[in-house]
Amino acid sequence: MLARNVFDAKAAAAAQTFDLLICDLVLPDGDGCDLCRELRQPCGMDAIALTACGYPADFAKTKAAGFRSHLLKPVSLDVLIEAIEGVLRDPSRQPNARPAIDA
């Protein structure tokens, strides 16, 4: 599923469950870190940041928001697949429950 903004991502998360959020930090209608926090709290959804924001403060911000990985654009498909597999195969990963999110 592709959501082009925070509003669409929240609506999608309210309607169905997802294994993983891959999200930019700079979105047209909000902040990717805020979206990650909001989606992780009710359902524990895992997330990967895929962004051009690469300053040390950006890495600290994504870690604090709960992103499991921070990838810099442009990213090779191999690196992206490796990050996704790393998150989904993590034995400490908790299965998602349907979130209670107001869209």
Q: What is the mean pLDDT of each run of 10 residues along the chain (103 residues)?
A: 94 91 97 95 88 98 97 98 95 63 44
Token pair for 21 = 């959020």
* Cis bond before residue 95 (omega within 30° of 0): no
- Reported pTM: 0.88
Query: Rounded to the nearest 5°, which phi and psi values hold at 58?
Result: -70, -40
In three-state secondary structure terms, 36 is helix
CA distance readout (Å), 21 to 15, 54, 82 = 15, 19, 15
| DSSP label at residue 31 | E
Residue whose structure tokens are 């993590």: 90
Token pair for 58 = 């950006």
* Cis bond before residue 74 (omega within 30° of 0): yes
| DSSP label at residue 95 | P
The pLDDT score that the predictor gives to residue 83 is 97
